A and B are shown apart, each in its own frame.
Chain A
């Protein structure tokens, strides 16, 4: 499957099926710092992602000036 990452924006190929939490572990991404979107749907950490899915791992940490 194609997985889009941000900051910087890039696309990586990951073999499915794989659960969201396992995908994040494989990419060494803290699940507290992202949301995962499959197609146009938000998915929880136990969702199963398939080879044909288009996935975005979107970071949620923001801010500089507070």
Chain B
């Protein structure tokens, strides 16, 4: 393939001419057009030799697939003077004109670039682009792209395999729920931390001391908090049965509301609605360490017999767990944050690691719906384990032997588990 230097390259004389036109048009108070072809060239140094470069060619703009209708993709063929070694091109500037208005620079890219994704666009606006290659003292603009409007797609086909696997897992969940409903016992292996829940509540009851339930410092939009609230349902049910005192300081107002509803429901289910009190759950503050200071104070003053630390925790995890340990409470902790788990393991009696936290509610309740969900998740893990084993095996064979069929199978497996967008 051969490239000719684009005749639109801006030379000093051409630039001066353009500049005169622009000055004239500005003085006449008229709108300066995008003039994408000539490009908004910068003044070359008067006392330096002009480095003439070829313009980038074939700029093409297309809609970014499977998005919300706010992105476009611009591609072009780089200038033939854009070479890895000894190239004259110092980079590219991308210009965009909105609804036929003046072209404005929207991006500066490094040499070798041939792709730009423009985000935060509007579906009702028409966009035209051109690309300018720039050397030390000259610029060369491409022609304008066609006018285009970003489109919104309602179905993201990039996620079709994710959808398919999710569908398999969902079908498994339904199958297991129905199986459990028919009375078949679903096996779930023993989880030590959860086996200790009843024992921990019993301990508090025997000692006549309270239970402190800390649901982390995240809001209801964190799935760890949801898991904690679900476990709270089971814990508060046993608490209601035993008539034990429960205290739950929270750092988010929505968590307070959800926790009150949950405990109230448990007390009603236990047939003791009169024993429920809104003050069992109280809001402290949204401030992370303000909350910690208050909870630490509660621990040392009330000396709870049992402390649950379940949910999303950050830097406060060790402070809370260590203070709880110092007052002699039996502590059951659980979070899905890998950075905080080591502290809980070091300072607590039982720790629910990641997935165990999410399995807890099903494990504790033994309800068909929750158990079915847990078994369905195991099907997902089974698929993942199988894919890893098969993928690694084929991958190793393909790398060593370069077998075409195996490489094709491997490509398919990799494609299935690749999530884009």
Q: Do A and B come from one complex?
A: no
Binding site for B on A (CB under 8 A): none
Q: Taking beta carbons and an 8 Å cutoff, which residues of B are in contact with A?
A: none
